[in-house]
A and B are shown apart, each in its own frame.
Chain A
Amino acid sequence: DSGVTQTPKHLITATGQRVTLRCSPRSGDLSVYWYQQSLDQGLQFLIQYYNGEERAKGNILERFSAQQFPDLHSELNLSSLELGDSALYFCASSVGRGGTGELFFGEGSRLTVL
């Protein structure tokens, strides 16, 4: 158990809909990262938050947004969903703001868009 909690584990929805994925980082970790992994693809970095503020942005679509709350949990909002958004969405956390520390991943949220 990495200590990173993601909900829901599975989600099925229709095109055009909006969903919210939630992540609780490990106790004491200030950074939260979101990744997308499509079928048989590598992990694609979406966005990072550090202590409530956006720190880095990857290939995140404009239809997607995220935030980190004062209690450090984070939410990834996906709107106007398309079939191609079907993927595993992983959250990871680390203590520091950068990539030098250990990165702990959650078990992912599997999104299926029909």
Chain B
Amino acid sequence: KNQVEQSPQSLIILEGKNCTLQCNYTVSPFSNLRWYKQDTGRGPVSLTIMTFSENTKSNGRYTATLDADTKQSSLHITASQLSDSASYICVVSLYNNNDMRFGAGTRLTVKP
């Protein structure tokens, strides 16, 4: 069973609209959580990284939130652009051995 679950699996939105992607994890003990953007056929690129004590972090139109108590994170994309079409991957690191657990990703399609 994957310890990092992402939802939805895929999402289609219109250009200019906002959207929110979810990441729930059961990984423990928790060290940090990252969001990556992966364009089709390309390597993932880091968007945000949050530690236990942080509950929000922004990177331009991307804002990630973290609730370490409920083990949930979200990635909010504002005013979407066609170039936002990609897979968004949630990665959680364990505290004791720094192993990383990858979610399966959410595939976002932004249409004109």
Kindly provide the distance from the CB of B78 to the nearest chain A CB, expressed in whole angstroms: 24
Is A100 touching B98 in the complex (CB atoms < 8 A)? yes
User: A99-B99, A104-B46 are known contacts; what are 9 more A-B pairs with Cβ within 8 Å?
Assistant: A42-B104, A43-B44, A43-B89, A44-B102, A90-B44, A99-B94, A100-B32, A103-B91, A105-B44
Which A residues touch B11, using CB under 8 A? none
Most A CB contacts (10 A, CB to CB) among B41, B43, B102 go to B43
* Interface SS of chain A: loop
- Would you mind naming 24 contact pairs between A and B with Cβ atoms under 8 Å apart? A4-B43, A42-B102, A42-B103, A42-B104, A43-B44, A43-B89, A44-B102, A56-B97, A88-B41, A90-B44, A92-B43, A97-B98, A98-B93, A99-B94, A99-B98, A99-B100, A100-B93, A102-B49, A105-B36, A106-B43, A107-B42, A107-B43, A108-B41, A108-B43
Instruction: Given A98-B98, A100-B93, answer yes or no on A42-B105 (Cβ-Cβ < 8 Å).
Output: yes
Measured CB to CB, the residues of A under 8 A from B are 2, 4, 41-45, 56, 88, 90, 92, 97-100, 102-108, 110
Is B103 touching A99 in the complex (CB atoms < 8 A)? no
Q: Is B31 an interface residue (CB 8 A)?
A: yes
Measured CB to CB, the residues of B under 8 A from A are 31-32, 34, 36, 41-46, 49, 89, 91, 93-94, 97-100, 102-105
Closest to B49 in A: A102
Kindly provide the distance from the CB of B37 to the nearest chain A CB, expressed in whole angstroms: 11
Which A residues touch B97, using CB under 8 A? 56, 98
Instruction: Given A98-B98, A99-B94, A99-B99, answer yes or no on A41-B104 (Cβ-Cβ < 8 Å).
Output: yes
Is B89 touching A42 in the complex (CB atoms < 8 A)? yes
Which A residues touch B105, using CB under 8 A? 42
Kindly provide the distance from the CB of A56 to the nearest chain B CB, expressed in whole angstroms: 6
C-alpha gap A58/B36 in the complex (Å): 20
Which A residues touch B43, using CB under 8 A? 2, 4, 90, 92, 105-108
Nearest first, the 10 A-B pairs at minimum CB distance are A98-B98, A99-B93, A105-B43, A99-B98, A42-B104, A99-B100, A43-B102, A105-B44, A107-B43, A106-B43
